[in-house]
Structure 1
Amino acid sequence: MTSPPISEITDRARDIFRLVVEDYLTSGQPVGSKALAQHDGINLSPASIRSVLSELEQLGLLAAPHTSAGRMPTTHGLRMFVDGIMQVAEPSAEERAAIEQQLAQPGPIEEALEKTSSILSDISGAAGMVMVPKREPRLAQMRLVSLDERRALAVLVGEDGQVENRVLDIGSAASVGSLEEASNYISAHLAGRTLAESVAAMQHEISSGKSALDEASASLVEAGIAVWSEDTAKRPVLIVRGQANLLDESALGDLDRVRQLLDDLENKQSIAELLESAREAQSARIFIGSENRLFALSGSSVIASPYRDRDGKVVGVLGVIGPTRLNYARVVPIVDFTARSLGKRIG
């Protein structure tokens, strides 16, 4: 069913519709005429309100669950609300400070992405999601530092200044000279390349016997290649935090829907593809319930916003996922602000 333009609905119907949606988003429960009659500024009898509710239901904007005499917004109704009625509330100073403080902390970019997902979950009360950037950073150098007789620390430095550490099992004792030689060899092949490009170049030289490395140093290089190649392959396309938020008290009466939503989240590739469709958006995009086939059963909503690097290039998308009764007016600007803050962190 196609919803009528908001301009074609009478002021009275518009006011009643807005109150139904706002009350539903707050409580998660259908809203009845008696509750609506208690709102300030609604000078209508419950009978008159029921008449308006019936009109809105006929327009496909509201629905009456068989277990209740109250009304709740349909997917079409929620779309009309967020596109034509909703007034967003900017994040509070405390929320902005909390987001910026978390993302300003130093550390690997993966930690920043995980913090972002957790922040979105904590503030929205839903599950937070962050797509891991596809773009591989250009690398500057890699150093191997001895930890003990069987382990070394691989320190990888990107051209953007990002530093990541991994522990290598070197299998046997390695001299300081071997570690230094391997470090110099690796760094020479990293300069200006991505990790994948560097690995390919080093593997070719070692396998073809063209490298001037001795056996011990070559083994260290191969150990470094292995750990970083494995790490790259295992990096997730999507980081999700806060799934437990989806199991609140209001979900107990609709466990099938919540179970389906959790199943949807397990299929991270499909969720990532949905987020990918928001890459070209200038601000947050809202996906509501059955508008997207992925949520045809769970009836969930996603609020997503792209985040950009210092050059304005989109490197990923973040957002929240939860029931359709998300507090859109509050969550939308939080998602947008978090996207801008993460972009500053990534550089």
Structure 2
Amino acid sequence: MTDLTELSDRARTVFAQVVEQYVTTGMPVGSKTLAARPDALRLSPASIRSVLKDLESAGLLAAPHTSAGRMPTDAGLRLFVDGMIEWRKPDEAERAAIEQQTRAATSEGLSSALEKTTGALADLASCAALVMMPRGDARLRQVAFTRLSDRRALMVLIGADGSVENRIVESEEALSDAALAEATNYANERLSGLTLKEGVERLEQEIRSGRAALQKAASGLVETGLAVWSRDESNRAVLIVRGQAHLLDPSNADDLDRVRQLLEDIDEKEQLLSVLDLAREAKSMRIFIGAENPLYSLSGSSMIAAPYASDGGSILGVVGVIGPTRLNYARIIPMVDYTAKTLSRLIE
């Protein structure tokens, strides 16, 4: 990829103006448009066309078939974001909008705070906004075991929040109806109201002390079932998405196929979570532009994501925005960063 040092001062200025104009209008930028800018270089349209051609040859700009103007490529946007962008910190009104939603929802719980803060970010950025948070440790309300075969059972778990989930449990012992009934009765009598972690700890303690007078098959069912569900829950995250309607803005009318593809991408929650995980694992802001990530190769979209953490520095989740590659990076990147820091303060 072309390095900034390979560009002349004139080429850098023209390139930056093309990106800024394109981000603002979403339209390819021509030499006459650049020559008419208040901050234009004292160059003729012909001289500007020559510079644009060089930038296109360098892979930083592209000329759509339907227009004589140029627009930045994904590589060009990456070069601009990494080395040329002039950040614009959120102004007082933007900071207040984010903080107001966060504070207003604090009494309603973390989930509500995340939802409302994400909605505020979506409105301010005019994009879809998303936040990933680890699933909380669910509390058990009711458990039932049903035999599938001699050594396999279906464990049905009903959470205190009304959620219903199933897990298939493998048993080392042959399963009788009596063992299934015993496992069900024990789980409901001794584990109801506990979180998964608390349930596992109580079961282990009662088995060690002899208070859990369970058949080996019943004991194994409960222990294995809780372990399987606990592992699944710890590996699963919750994804909240707000503001998809912003992607249907009239300014995107000429590119409805890409917008439609992006909306389909957003519906692929598991794929989105895998991309957000990259920011969580890196513990830093991540910016994905266009085809840099396979998820966006068709929709020509970008994602900006930043992790938020607990007071102790433990990464809890990721907040970000997703939209067309012509995002106003100079404005939105600091806004996402500010939102992540606001959420971190909320969790302190």
TM over 0.5: yes
- TM bracket (short chain): 0.7 to 0.9
2:21 is matched with which residue? 23
SS of the counterpart of 2:311?
Answer: coil
1:243 is matched with which residue? 244
Following superposition of structure 1 onto structure 2, how do residues 279-318 of structure 1 map, counting pairs within 5 Å? 279-281=280-282, 283-318=284-319
Is the contact between residue 62 and residue 70 of structure 2 (CA under 8 Å) also seen in structure 1? yes
**Alignment length (residue pairs):** 288
Is the contact between residue 279 and residue 306 of structure 2 (CA under 8 Å) also seen in structure 1? yes
Q: Deviations over 1:270-316 (max 9, x none)?
A: 11110110124454221000111111100100000010001011111
Cα distance change on mapping 1:167 and 1:133 into 2, 3 Å: closer
2:256 is matched with which residue? 255
Q: 2:4 corresponds to which letter in structure 1?
A: I
SS of the counterpart of 1:303?
Answer: strand
Cα distance change on mapping 1:41 and 1:322 into 2, 3 Å: closer
Q: Structure 1: how far apart are the matches of 2:202 and 2:246?
A: 46
SS of the counterpart of 1:237?
Answer: strand
Cα distance change on mapping 1:91 and 1:282 into 2, 3 Å: farther
Is the contact between residue 278 and residue 317 of structure 1 (CA under 8 Å) also seen in structure 2? yes
Q: Deviations over 1:58-97 (max 9, x none)?
A: 0000000000111000000000000010011001111112
Following superposition of structure 1 onto structure 2, how do residues 98-177 of structure 1 map, counting pairs within 5 Å? 98-104=97-103, 105-134=106-135, 136=136, 166=161
Q: Structure 1: how far apart are the matches of 2:203 and 2:246?
A: 46
SS of the counterpart of 1:70?
Answer: coil
Q: Mark the runs of 5 or more structure 1 residues left unpaired by the alignment.
A: 143-164, 169-184, 212-224
2:149 is matched with which residue? none
Q: Deviations over 1:136-161 (max 9, x none)?
A: 46x9x99xxxxxxxxxxxxxxxxxxx
SS of the counterpart of 1:240?
Answer: strand
Q: Structure 2: how far apart are the matches of 1:97 and 1:41?
A: 32
Q: Deviations over 1:234-263 (max 9, x none)?
A: x86211111111111122211111111111
Is the contact between residue 281 and residue 305 of structure 1 (CA under 8 Å) also seen in structure 2? no
Is the contact between residue 283 and residue 315 of structure 2 (CA under 8 Å) also seen in structure 1? no
Is the contact between residue 14 and residue 51 of structure 2 (CA under 8 Å) also seen in structure 1? yes
Q: 1:36 corresponds to which letter in structure 2?
A: L
Q: Structure 1: how far apart are the matches of 2:340 and 2:59?
A: 34
Q: Deviations over 1:172-224 (max 9, x none)?
A: xxxxxxxxxxxxx879x85xxxx21234567898xxx968xxxxxxxxxxxxx
In the superposition, the TM-score normalised over structure 2's length comes to 0.74
Following superposition of structure 1 onto structure 2, how do residues 1-347 of structure 1 map, counting pairs within 5 Å? 2=1, 4-42=2-40, 43-104=42-103, 105-134=106-135, 136=136, 166=161, 190=194, 195-200=195-200, 237-281=238-282, 283-347=284-348
In the superposition, the TM-score normalised over structure 1's length comes to 0.74
Identity of aligned residues (%): 53
**Structure 1 position 41, deviation (Å):** 3.9
Q: Mark the runs of 5 or more structure 2 residues left unpaired by the alignment.
A: 141-159, 164-189, 213-225
Q: Structure 2: how far apart are the matches of 1:304 and 1:198?
A: 33
Q: Deviations over 1:115-155 (max 9, x none)?
A: 12212211100000100225x46x9x99xxxxxxxxxxxxx
Cα distance change on mapping 1:236 and 1:41 into 2, 3 Å: closer
Q: 2:198 corresponds to which letter in structure 1?
A: S
Q: Deviations over 1:11-66 (max 9, x none)?
A: 00100000000000000000111110012343000010101000000000000000
Is the contact between residue 22 and residue 326 of structure 2 (CA under 8 Å) also seen in structure 1? yes
Q: Structure 2: how far apart are the matches of 1:283 and 1:330?
A: 18
